[in-house]
């Protein structure tokens, strides 16, 4: 898939116009602000240190290369002229290449508007093009809002890693959720 490809547009629950598209080089500054904003708010994501422009450039270069070689799927949500959400599917190697891990995050102020669900639907729509049959994700056991959304989207808890995540001075379980796609 090509970078910057518009996949579709929709209105969020609050009426905000949202574009779902693949990332592009011009998103670099937005993506850097996006991830560093999540780190600043101590969002329930694996990343806990701010990215530098250099590290974000390296990450975006790898992502765009993999996207254009059909080695993964990446989608950003754009609203109000800025990237407000990001998600991707990364296939496992070898005998597990029919399975992908899903990563997703939405910027504060744009959550609970249906943007995350629409990004997930778009990833699931694109997944068969990569030969994917199952998707799994990991979520903080304390992230009730996200777990509710994932269940609503058809994901089921299939495992748990106790005390896997260090968060705000304590330990949190990592909940593994899986969805088998109809192919």
10 Å CB burial of residue 159 (0-12, 13-18, 19+) is exposed
Report the mean per-residue pLDDT for the chain. Answer: 96
Local structure of residue 108 (DSSP, 8 states): T
> How confident is the model over 62-72, as a mean pLDDT?
95
122 CB neighbour count, 10 Å cutoff: 20
The percent of residues in the chain predicted with pLDDT above 90, rounded, is 98
Count of residues for the chain?
A: 183
Q: Considering the entire predicted model, what is its pTM?
A: 0.93
Mean pLDDT of 69-74: 94
pLDDT in tens, 112-170: 999 999 999 999 999 999 999 999 999 999 999 999 999 999 999 999 999 999 999 99
pLDDT of residue 127: 96
Q: How confident is the model at residue 182 (pLDDT cuts 50, 70, 90)?
A: confident
pLDDT in tens, 103-123: 999 999 999 999 999 999 999
**Predicted local distance difference test score (pLDDT) of residue 183:** 59
For the chain, how big is the Rg over CA atoms in Å?
A: 16
Taking CA 99 as the corner, what is the angle to CA 106 and CA 69, rounded to the nearest 5 degrees?
Answer: 75
Note the pLDDT of residue 146. 96
| CB distance 139 to 148 below 8 Å | no
- All domains of the chain in start order, with CATH: 6-132 (3.40.630.30)
Mean pLDDT, residues 6-28: 97
Residues above pLDDT 70, as percent of the chain: 99
């Amino acid at each position: 898939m090509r970078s910057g490809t518009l996949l579709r547009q929709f209105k969020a629950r609050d009426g905000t116009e949202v574009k779902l598209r693949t990332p592009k080089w011009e998103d670099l500054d937005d993506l850097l602000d996006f991830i560093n904003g999540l780190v600043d708010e101590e969002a329930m994501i694996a990343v806990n240190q701010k990215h530098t422009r250099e590290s974000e450039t390296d990450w975006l270069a790898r992502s765009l290369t993999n996207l254009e070689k059909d080695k993964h799927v990446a989608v950003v949500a754009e609203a109000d002229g800025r990237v407000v959400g990001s998600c991707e599917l990364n296939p496992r190697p070898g005998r597990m290449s029919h399975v992908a891990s899903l990563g997703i995050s939405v910027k504060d102020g744009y959550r609970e508007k249906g943007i995350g669900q629409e990004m997930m639907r778009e990833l699931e729509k694109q997944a068969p093009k990569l030969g994917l049959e199952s998707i799994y994700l990991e979520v903080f056991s304390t992230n009730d809002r996200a777990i509710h959304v994932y269940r609503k989207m058809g994901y089921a808890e299939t495992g748990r890693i106790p005390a896997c995540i260090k968060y705000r001075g304590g330990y949190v379980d990592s909940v593994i959720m899986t969805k088998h796609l109809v192919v």
